[in-house]
Structure 1
């Protein structure tokens, strides 16, 4: 059988087959996108390469879904058509670039001869320029692979996929219609793409490790602060070993939620400047050394740039450099440095950390109030979540509310704090739920606002079509709450049309594989959380969760206030 397989690979293969086999090799099993006449023939090759076509309602949603799939699966692929398709997806791809998410964007293009002749084809600008759209994507793609010349196609494909994985950012691959079935040598498929991280220079790495250890051993109150790039650049194993070996108080930034086992004895909560729990803020800001791993210090990730930590007391670990106080060491990856720090660390000064729980705030305990508020909701959600859940939160109240939830172990958190494209979470939920299904049906839970839902609701249809079973909580509070807190509290531009939300999946053809709920009181939600069928997520479930229009998490209020001030 091996000899047959080897002979098969050594035969010339079509370009589309080569490309899709490489996608399968790196772990992709489902491909998102929308069909168009410049990619249709290529799509015929997917099933024979072990790939499944998802088929989204539009390209923007497909891009969001690919992003969510990549955050769970490790890497994703998106197929669109030239011009109209790729430009519809470009916002989603920009978000993936901004937040270091590896998505392979494949664009079906017109025949290479048509491009050279500048023919006036549909989906063009009418000026014969076939490079305009690729130029638009060049700034949000870490590599551009134009598959125009058969002799270089295999090299370009392999390099693009490797760069997507190593740099954890989108790449752009064009596939002209006349190249889809062109033959290239298949023998190269016998050798897997090298996805290993280039090693650091050993001498330089050892020097940086010694500098880090010098300050770490001198510190009296060191802490660890973990952020999103620790997840994106795949150093969570090193992070977990560092926390366990050092015993240091460990915190996460909002974008780093889920990077650390929140049931661990060292976990102290979410640090977001003035948006933090007071105990968390005190311990982080009084520390004399912060080991900052994968930081992204954006406005929403720092509650309006309200961090009160100094670079003089910080060691920053990143994918391309390490900064120790004010000295920067370029071209060195944090993975190798962290591993050697763990191996050579020895005893350290350790301080106790305040354990985080999902206990209700004092004013909520024993209350007979039935209105669902954010102060009550998020600790209650924390009590309901299960190990290995995937929890997705939309930009707005949910993104900030989840700060107050302590996760069980193994939870994956998905949010778009930096790019913050409204409606992202619904598409991302579809992609994440599909990846979860491929991994063994981990439970997928989405919290989205009623305003955000209206932008990308169509992807609920894709969930139904693909037999996905997420639990979707729609926070119904009459519009764009985060926008109201920034500006225009009573302005009509922050209002939305009220929908019969729980009835919409029926219109999408959900039939008997769906159940909807309307929750207006705490007792109703508590009863739902105790329902074993609901918790087992046997089919798509949607919960209208009605909350006061004026209520919002404390972190959102702080960040919105800072944003409003900066906007002036």
Structure 2
């Protein structure tokens, strides 16, 4: 009898590794797994149904990674399965984006057997040099934890640790699953105890000290403001942020990456701050403030309209998941959630200044215009008038990412974009994952704005949406190519041009049935008519809109940021 058989006999409740892994994924809220089948992961996929997980089945691994990213931004965590080498490398761009933007994705890679790896066999999907660890090393730099399930004795522990790290640190983890380990046995009794997903507690004495320091400056400030960014969302501090906004009464602003973090219908909400690209009146209020409570900041170029912030560290308190910085004093190993909670509890009356009014009103020049051309200055406030509470709104890198700054959301809208990583084509794949998550949650519309150039990179995911009976509204901005690239460099260069597509009929090529509806919209009146159509607003099927806009039109914030990027590139 082998040592493995003896070890299995010693287990009171033996469970296969694959079942253990998938039941843990189900436990943390995942209900569907993205990916592409390959011979090194096929046997593992057989376990999905018995663990309550649906298989999505994407058109390629890159799209699967994007979709897992979008799913995680709605549900809190996600999983994607690829095969060894060829599959996992195709997903790496998407995983890198999730790492960059703090999105928790469990990346599971089906591998050859542990014995094949030890023997250095010349197998397909390898580099032909016997090195089976090379791809793991590639993923290690864009994962916060690596779990190599090569031994049943520690497999369950590694799985639990990987999922915990993914959740707590809100970044991808990498899990290898050799084909022989799929059937290896682990202690199933562990499943009776849920994984501990609670954040490490702050040291009470240190936390109290930091709270006292924050309150000292907050009470002394004459015109403090709150500025909320993406990591407040990613590190699950929104409840504390909302309580702070409500209790303080302070003017509250979001960054582009922080869109959706604050209820934009709240009386304290003042708009988007992005340096020179800010909403009207916002820059003056934020930059004249003597204390900025900056929560979860990511001060990247696109998030700051080309580094045009004018707020110094001397009047800023930064709250993060693992440190708090008060002016130039940094307090490490302190989670912002505990600090914010106590600040709210101990906060007395503050000095509150006026909040700039913000709405979805059109600029005066657009109000009085009789032109039927759909411009960005007209479109994005109009979109804000059409959106509903609880919508999920995705915007692609390019004009849409910048245009949405001028849309004031109703309450509880989730905004998804990839402002930092900025991989063109991300949003369509992400839309599939977000729409699937919305279907699981029910009663949430998923709406995508994507350029005609970006769409061409990941258009196959329309097929996955149809296959999974998803019903997003997809707006394809038809403006003859890569407008954001044109503004950076090569205005008339052929490399910024694309082949025009018949977008409305693409879903039919992918097998869309009679339930699918496509639209070609070229005037403002047609937009208003479309937005008022009940069957367009609520449908069980995919809707795709060709939205025609001038090639040379772009949101003002994009023009500013593109100019800054062009200057840096020189």
TM-score (norm 1): 0.98
- Greater Cα offset, 424-433 or 361-370: 361-370
CA contact (8 A) 1:32 1:77 kept: yes
1:130 aligns with 2:132: yes
How far residue 339 of structure 1 moved from its aligned partner, in angstroms, is 0.2
Structural mapping, 1:237-256, within 5 Å:
237-256=239-258
Offset at residue 461 of structure 1 (A): 0.1
Q: CA deviation at 1:278?
A: 3.8
Return the alpha-carbon distance in structure 2 between the equivalents of residues 295 and 480 of structure 1. Answer: 29
TM alignment of 1:187-206, pairs within 5 A = 187-206=189-208
**What is aligned with 1:485?**
487
RMSD over aligned CA atoms reads 0.7
**CA deviation string 1:67-103 (max 9, x = no partner):** 0000000000000000000000000000000000000
The equivalent residue for 1:401 is 403
Moved more, 376-385 or 350-359: 350-359
CA contact (8 A) 1:65 1:431 kept: yes
Distance of 1:511 and 1:478 partners within structure 2: 28
Counting only pairs closer than 5 Å after superposition, residues 341-490 of structure 1 correspond to structure 2 as 341-490=343-492
Deviation at 1:10, TM superposition (A): 5.3
Aligned counterparts of 2:285 and 2:454: Cα–Cα separation in 1: 35
Matches within 5 A, 1:6-405: 11-405=13-407
Q: Distance in 2 between matches of 1:329 and 1:562?
A: 33
- SS of alignment partner, residue 184 of structure 1: strand
Query: What residue is the counterpart of 2:6 in the other structure?
Result: none
1:30-60 deviation line (CA, Å, top 9, x unaligned) = 0000000000000000000000000000000
Post-superposition offset of 1:184 = 1.1
Native 8 Å contact 2:490 2:496 kept in 1: yes
Matched, 1:565 2:567: yes
Is the CA contact (8 Å cut-off) linking 2:374 and 2:524 kept in structure 1?
A: yes
Query: What is the rounded CA distance, in whole Å, between the counterparts of 2:438 and 2:344 in structure 1?
Result: 32
Q: Give 1:511 deviation, angstroms.
A: 1.5
Instruction: Provide the residue aligned with 2:549 in structure 1.
Output: 547
Q: Does the CA contact (< 8 Å) of 1:443 and 1:537 recur in 2?
A: no
Task: Using the TM superposition, give the Cα deviation of residue 532 of structure 1 relative to its aligned residue in structure 2, in angstroms.
Answer: 1.0
Deviations 1:269-314 (A, max 9, x none): 0000001124100000000000000000000000000000000000
Q: Which runs of 5+ in 1 are unaligned?
A: 1-8
- Partners of 1:398 and 1:407 in 2: how far apart? 15
* Partner SS, residue 262 of structure 2: coil
Q: What residue in structure 2 maps to residue 524 of structure 1?
A: 526
Residue by residue, what CA displacement relative to the aligned partner does 1:460-494 show, whole Å, maximum 9, x if unpaired?
00000000000000000000000000000000000
After TM superposition, give the deviation of residue 185 of structure 1 in Å.
1.2
Q: Report the Cα distance in structure 1 between the residues aligned to 2:456 and 2:515, rounded to whole angstroms.
A: 22
> What do residues 217-274 of structure 1 show as CA deviations (whole Å, max 9, x unaligned)?
0000100000000000000000000000000000000000000000000000000000
5+ residue gaps, structure 2 = 1-10
- In the alignment, the residues of structure 2 paired with residue 318 and residue 511 of structure 1 have an alpha-carbon distance, to the nearest angstrom, of 48
- Assess if the C-alpha contact under 8 Å between 1:446 and 1:473 holds in 2: yes
Partners of 1:512 and 1:458 in 2: how far apart?
A: 19
2:358 & 2:122 partners in 1: Cα distance?
Answer: 63
**Do the aligned residues in 1 keep the contact of 2:279 with 2:405 (CA within 8 Å)?**
no
8 Å CA contact retained: 2:65, 2:94: yes
> What CA distance in whole angstroms lies between the structure 2 residues aligned with 1:500 and 1:278?
37
| 2:246 partner SS | helix
Match of 1:502 in 2: 504
What secondary structure is seen at the aligned counterpart in 1 of 2:271? strand
Aligned to 1:3: none
Separation in 1 of the partners of 2:384 and 2:528?
Answer: 12
Shift of 1:355: 2.1
Report if aligned partners of 2:31, 2:52 keep a CA contact under 8 Å in 1: yes
TM-aligned CA deviation for residue 366 of structure 1: 3.2
Tell whether the 8 Å contact from 1:147 to 1:153 is kept in structure 2 after alignment.
Answer: yes
* In structure 2, C-alpha distance between the alignment counterparts of 1:388 and 1:185, rounded to whole Å: 41
1:4 maps to: none
Q: Which runs of 4+ in 1 moved over 3 A?
A: none
Contact between 1:486 and 1:560, CA under 8 Å: does it hold in 2? yes
Q: Say if 1:530 and 1:278 are closer, same or farther in 2 by CA, change over 3 A.
A: closer
Summarize deviations over 1:544-567 as a string: whole Å, max 9, x none.
000000000000000000000000
Q: Distance in 2 between matches of 1:130 and 1:113?
A: 11
Partner in structure 1 of residue 5 of structure 2:
none
Contact 1:447 1:473 in 2 (8 A): yes
> C-alpha distance in 1, partners of 2:550/2:216?
52
- Indicate if the aligned counterparts of 1:265 and 1:355 stay in contact, CA closer than 8 A: no
**Pairwise CA distance, 1:197:** 0.6
How far, CA to CA, are the matches of 1:464 and 1:312 in structure 2?
52
Q: TM-score of the superposition, structure 2-length normalised? A: 0.98
